[in-house]
Amino acid sequence: MTPTATYRLQLQPDFPFAAAEAAVPYVAALGVSHLHLSPVLEAVPGSTHGYDVVDHGRVREELGGEQGLRSLSRTAREHGLGLVLDIVPNHMAAAPAYNHALWEVLREGPQSPYARWFDIDWDAGDGKVLLPVLPGRVGDELARMRVEGDVLHHGELRFPLRASTAHLPLPELLDHQWYRLGWWRLARTELNYRRFFTVSDLIGVRVEDPDVFDATHAKILELVRDGVVEGLRVDHPDGVADPEGYLRRLQDAAGDACWIVVEKILTGGERLPSGWPVAGTTGYDALHRIDGLFTDPAGIRQLSGAYRDWTETEDSLGGRWEDTVRRAAYEVVTHELAAETSTLVRIAERICAADPALRDLAPWALRDALRELLVRVPVYRPYRVDAEAALPEEAAAAARDTFTVAEEAFAVDVVRDLALGRRGEGPDHVRFRARFAQTASALRAKAVEDTAFYRYAPLISANEVGGDPGDPAVGPASFHRFCARLAQDWAGTGTVLTTHDTKRSADVRARIAVLSECPERWAEFLAGITAEAAPPPDAQLAWVAWQTAVGLGLPDADRLEAALLKAVREAGVRTSWTEADPAYEKAVAAFVGAGPAGPARESVRRFVAELAPYVRANVLGAALLHLTMPGVPDVYQGSEREFLALVDPDNRTPARFGAPLPDPLPAPAPADTGASGGGRDGTVGAEKLALTATALRLRRERPEVFGASASYEPLEATGPAADHCVAFHRSGEVITAVTRLSLRLHRHGGWRDTALRLPPGRWADLLDGAREVVGGGPVPLAGLFASRPVVLLSRVGGPAATSGSG
């Protein structure tokens, strides 16, 4: 069953199934059809996210166990709601004390029946699994180790002992295990198991093996068959060896009635593989298009220039986007992913050694070819179905140019052919192809999302998953083309604005995006605030800090400090997670207290108040587009109101819910455009809540207008400010119209005689129950948007005489 809309809840010990069950009346009254739950299987104790699964056969006891989940499902069903579950096929927690399957592998070695579960290169570790878990070198940690029965202890860590080894002296005992305990810093170069990105605490699972698939999906599929669950959100499918094969097996097992979407990041014009048996993505592609509409293309160019001048940032360390991405990619593939690259080189060496035509390719040439190709993969993951887009000849030519001797550049062609499956289907060939693709996705995520996004910062609202900070603006025509394609090919896809993974919530991004419309005013603010506040550790940090402060509105010291410390560590320029500079981090914290969250708070508040009318237009416009465009909107917990959250863990705070919303919902008075609209109960928050509930209830009551057979047709405005309106109608029955770039609009004289031609008929304004609009001709936008920067119109009377194309 395809949902009409979903509502995401972040489950954790402080928000278990019982809390979700208590929230059901509120969520049902809001108007969604399904609750969307974060992972529910047994995880590491205390986990606040659930992606560190340790047992696929049990529902997590800390959340209330299977009984609690089934109770939640029953209560949800009584209120007309189904459940969608987030599932994690790619990895498990590398925590043997809690992960029974991994415990058995460490105890019994490659002969364990569980050894096939994990991507372990036993040969690379001389028959052992490296466990990089010790705080120091093993020799320095021996005194903290002790043996109790058949278990080795180190602090809170526990490891199984191989049979008949417990009596051995400690150094000899360690040598006789199927694993090697090591210093955590060895993970970067010595690790011999596949992990999630660069997170050694998460070990890759081989769901391509049918037996492993069955064992790791039995409980989830049981819940689907029992009707407890009606949909699945698949986490990081690019991590598994064969995403399409995995998804076919999942769809076959779950049945056609189960709605399945995948967390697939699409880059630029990349499209979801048409052969995947899913309803679509989780919606980051929609987020990019919606956010882009509220980013001024002219302003972002001016802002980027001012950023370079003000920060004096080196081009490859945040000054220019493409240079920053390329340098970050080289750093990640050379350092953080060195172990993954070594694995690929070993496989390639074996393939070449077995083929007389390839035997003289040196390991260093293969390594260099791998590196140069990996950093040039333009998408998250290459697929054989579209080889030229995944590893284009231009990328191969650039990689060859890095070789001094042309004959040695032949290694690039070999590696490219292996990555695209053009040199055979032997076991090593298949493994190389999968591992290259898996490594490419990890490289893209770490180099772009987790490094470049934190280095390049002209407009930090553009630095979001699936986005393009180098060219973030999206015009109305491009947005309409995207929506038309969704309506035709992926009508059941997910769409999002805020998730548990977004670096800033939609409303924070909406505030910051206004700066692209007033770069000169931002420069004035920076000049004034710099003179007023304490000096920053560096100019780039200050730029990011002040934009973040504006996004929050009234900066909270603890939240702002945590977000900025995470930002500078991820950027890895002055400090990092693994090579910390305590003095620099102390200076960052001091700057927050003496600047944005200190004496300058009032100046920030005044600046935010000045931007409030235009922030309001962005917040309401983005929300309405999200809720009425093609696809299934996912509303993140609390984001039906004004929701100001920064990067995790800030955005994963346990949700709090009040009384169920009334039906019908009273429409709040339009916000005072001079007010700040700040706070959960602010005027803009009330407007957003009313808009969200109205749109969600409309989707629930009229699924045919928005569902699989619904049409999408752009509506064009005419006049001097036409580009500031984005409008469309769905199935000839509902019209959405929003204001974009409202600050620029105001500066250029407002709507003047700009008009929007509405289809014939009478149209009720659902956000203002007392108003009707007559269509069939041009309607002045100054009147249409007189009370709010957005309108949601529903046809009054019978069905439309004509229906727009999809």
The residue that leads in pLDDT, 412 or 662, is 412
Amino acid at 371: R
Rounded CA Rg of the chain:
27
For the record, the structure tokens of 49 come out as 């996210």
Q: What is the average pLDDT across 150-171? A: 96
Report d(CA 623, CA 792) in Å as an integer: 12
| Confidence (pLDDT) at 676 | 28
| pLDDT above 70 for 657 | yes
| Confidence (pLDDT) at 550 | 97
Q: Band of the pLDDT at 382, cuts 50, 70, 90?
A: confident
| pLDDT above 80 for 385 | no
Closest CA to 410 of 398, 423, 400: 400
Q: Band of the pLDDT at 269, cuts 50, 70, 90?
A: confident
Per-residue pLDDT tens over the stretch 500-525: 999 999 999 999 999 999 999 999 99
| Confidence (pLDDT) at 51 | 97
* Residue 454, CA atoms < 13 Å, CB-side half-sphere: 23
Q: What is the average pLDDT across 656-676? A: 67
Q: Which of 382-386, 397-401, 677-681 has the lowest mean pLDDT?
A: 677-681
Exposure string for 254-265, b = 16+ CB within 10 A, e = fewer: beeebbbbbbbb
- Going across the sheet that includes 725-730, the strands are 712-715, 725-730, 734-739, 790-796, 762-765, 772-774
Q: Band of the pLDDT at 387, cuts 50, 70, 90?
A: low
Name the DSSP letter for residue 740.
-
| Confidence (pLDDT) at 147 | 97
For the record, the structure tokens of 716 come out as 């064009």
Amino acid at 482: F
| pLDDT above 60 for 806 | no
Report d(CA 428, CA 440) in Å as an integer: 18
Report d(CA 130, CA 187) in Å as an integer: 8
Per-residue pLDDT tens over the stretch 280-338: 999 999 999 999 999 999 999 999 999 999 999 999 999 999 999 999 999 999 999 99
In order, the DSSP letters of 228-296 are: S--EEEES-GGGSS-HHHHHHHHHHHH-TTSEEEE--PPPTT----TT--SSEE-SHHHHHHHHHHTS-
Report d(CA 549, CA 639) in Å as an integer: 19
| Confidence (pLDDT) at 805 | 32
Per-residue pLDDT tens over the stretch 676-713: 233 334 589 999 999 999 999 999 999 999 999 999 99
Per-residue pLDDT tens over the stretch 445-494: 999 999 999 999 999 999 999 899 999 999 999 999 999 999 999 999 99
| pLDDT above 60 for 592 | yes
Per-residue pLDDT tens over the stretch 751-801: 999 999 999 999 999 999 878 999 999 999 999 999 999 999 999 986 544
The residue assigned the tokens 């009720």 is 764
| Confidence (pLDDT) at 538 | 95
| pLDDT above 60 for 191 | yes
Q: Band of the pLDDT at 384, cuts 50, 70, 90?
A: low
The residue that leads in pLDDT, 386 or 699, is 699
| pLDDT above 60 for 149 | yes
Q: Band of the pLDDT at 100, cuts 50, 70, 90?
A: very high
For the record, the structure tokens of 681 come out as 């109960």
Report d(CA 763, CA 732) in Å as an integer: 11
Q: What is the average pLDDT across 59-71? A: 98
pLDDT, mean over the chain:
94
| Confidence (pLDDT) at 674 | 35
| pLDDT above 50 for 82 | yes
Global pTM?
0.95
| Confidence (pLDDT) at 117 | 98
Per-residue pLDDT tens over the stretch 200-244: 999 999 999 999 999 999 999 999 999 999 999 999 999 999 999
User: Are 105 and 129 contacting, i.e. CB atoms less than 8 angstroms apart?
Assistant: yes
Report d(CA 649, CA 559) in Å as an integer: 10
